[in-house]
Every structure is written in C-alpha cells, then in structure tokens.
Amino acid sequence: MASRIQKNTAVRYGNDMNTFQIETIRDITQWINENLSLPFSATFIAQKSGYSQFYFQRMFSCYHSMSLSKYILHARMNYALKLLHQTDLTICHISLECGFSTQQTFTRVFSKYFQMPPSKWREKHRKSSANRLPDQDQISFIHIEDEK
C-alpha cells in the first residue's frame, strides 16, 4: 500500500518531489495537527522543515493544494468546530486551544470563516444534532486570503 501511495504521489506531483520531501511534508503536517494549541506561524513551520521558507511553502502547496497559511487556518477552524460541538469549554478557552492569542482575534477569524460568531455556531449546531459534527456540506467555508 505504501508503494502505491508513493507511486500516486509521484504521478500527482510530476516526480518533482522525492520521497524525503514528501515524508518531511507529512511529518510537518502531523506536527501541525498535533500542536494546534501553540501559536505558531507559517514562517515558523517553514523554518522547522529545514528548507527555505519559499521552497517549503511551494512544496507544501503542491502537496496539499493550498498554501501553508490556509492549511493552518483550516486545521485551527476544524479543531474549533470540534471543541465547540463536543465540549462545554468557554469561547475564550477554545480560542487559546486553537492557537489564538486573544478571544477577539479568534472570534473575528471564525466569524469571517463561517459567517457567524462561534457562540452562534455552537448554539445553532448543538440544537440540530446530538453528538456528531455536521456534515462538511452543511458548513459553509469561506477561504480567506493569507494575511501578510
């Protein structure tokens, strides 16, 4: 199975990425997903990879079909949805758990992404389903541009 994944990956990326580069991206992706509560940036992640920022971000975008900044934001927002739906943590606590330094920043980004503040999202989706997250098609995602 691993060789099939590598073959598909090689075909998908036109052999532009070697196995080591792919593994680096997978490792970094796993690190991102396991450390969403830390306030890291795309620049920090690129430095962590050992590649230049420009080169790593290009490889990452090629592999994930989205920029590193967008991937981080998307992962943080998905984690926020999970916490809003499955816990009774305060919005302030959730904002910190998702790597935001303030609740205000979290609420602004969340509202821009989902077109409603986190408290309204929680209220709306807690009423509609007992113990499961809504299907992806029930959530309207707004992809915001990378902030510089």
Output the six-digit token pair for 116.
């409603």
User: pLDDT tens-digit profile of 49-69?
Assistant: 999 999 999 999 999 999 999
Domain with CATH 1.10.10.60 in the chain: 71-138
Cβ 102 vs Cβ 93: under 8 Å? no
d(CA 139, CA 92): 22
Query: What pLDDT score was predicted for residue 17?
Result: 86
Output the six-digit token pair for 22.
């792919």
Query: What pLDDT score was predicted for residue 126?
Result: 81
Q: Which letter does DSSP use for residue 35 in this model?
A: -
Query: What pLDDT score was predicted for residue 101?
Result: 94
Query: What pLDDT score was predicted for residue 134?
Result: 52
How many angstroms from the chain centroid is the CA of residue 88? 22
d(CA 140, CA 7): 34
- Per CATH, the homologous superfamily of domain 71-138 is Homeodomain-like (1.10.10.60)
Query: What pLDDT score was predicted for residue 2?
Result: 45
Cβ 100 vs Cβ 109: under 8 Å? yes
> pLDDT under 70 in the chain at which residues?
1-15, 128-148
